[in-house]
Structure 1
Amino acid sequence: MDTEPGLTSAAELFKVLGNASRLALLRIIGDESPTVGSLVEATGMSQPLVSQHLRTLRQAGLVIATRSGKEICYRVADLHVTHVIADAIAHVHEPVDHDDTIHHVAHD
């Protein structure tokens, strides 16, 4: 079914991004280089849950972990990801004109 190169990989990316907690973590990480502790504090999630989400994001290649003394800091691996998230959030806040959508579909 992957008729265009990259569709399967893009679907896997969206699967990882399809979790509000991971999106929240990526938004915070995109603005700074936080530690797990600061992510726990910022989100109110438990430390094990934050660590689990970070592991998923690392495995997907979306964040990079770097050691800073005794702590590990996280940064977004690719700024395209922050743009995709920002665009998705902007999209859901746009007003939807259902009549206009139907009109375009009927005439295209």
Structure 2
Amino acid sequence: MDKIAGLAAAAELFKVLGNESRLALVWLLSTGPLTVGALADKAGLSQPLVSQHLRTLRHAGLVTSEREGKEIRYALADQHVAHVVLDAIAHVQEPNEQGNQQ
């Protein structure tokens, strides 16, 4: 099979998104920029853990950061990743063919 352009990069994207906490952070950031503290509160995670996940997301080019005074606000680099995550959540919440939730 010939290599499909972008397939390897897409697989790497799914590896990064293959963590429930990182999915939660992307979901939270889909509504707008937030600080580490706000993300930790809303996600129910510790600030060090949120910082670690944000570092992974930033390294993958999915999240950007901008300093505002003493705080850093994190935002999605673009809305494409939000669409992927939100569509995946909507997909798993749809009833399957037998009418049962997955």
Distance (Å, rounded) in 1 between the aligned partners of 2:60 and 2:74: 14
Distance 1:94 1:2, change over 3 A: farther
Q: CA deviation at 1:95?
A: 2.0
Distance (Å, rounded) in 2 between the aligned partners of 1:64 and 1:70: 17
Q: RMSD of the TM alignment (CA)?
A: 1.4
Q: CA deviation at 1:71?
A: 0.5
Q: CA deviation at 1:40?
A: 1.1
Gaps of 5+ in 1: 99-108
TM-score by length of 1: 0.85
Distance 1:51 1:10, change over 3 A: same
Report the secondary structure of 1:74's partner residue. strand
- Aligned residue identity for 1:27: W
Q: Deviations over 1:60-105 (max 9, x none)?
A: 000000000110000100101111111101111122227xxxxxxx
Structure with greater proportional helix content: 1
Q: CA deviation at 1:2?
A: 6.8
Structure 1 runs of 4+ aligned residues shifted over 3 Å read none
The number of aligned residues is 98
Gaps of 5+ in 2: none
Match of 1:40 in 2: 40
TM-score by length of 2: 0.90
- Aligned residue identity for 1:94: E
Instruction: Answer whether contact 1:2 1:8 (CA < 8 A) is retained.
Output: no
Q: CA deviation at 1:29?
A: 1.1
Distance (Å, rounded) in 1 between the aligned partners of 2:23 and 2:40: 14
Distance (Å, rounded) in 1 between the aligned partners of 2:2 and 2:59: 22
Q: Deviations over 1:6-31 (max 9, x none)?
A: 10000000000111100111111111
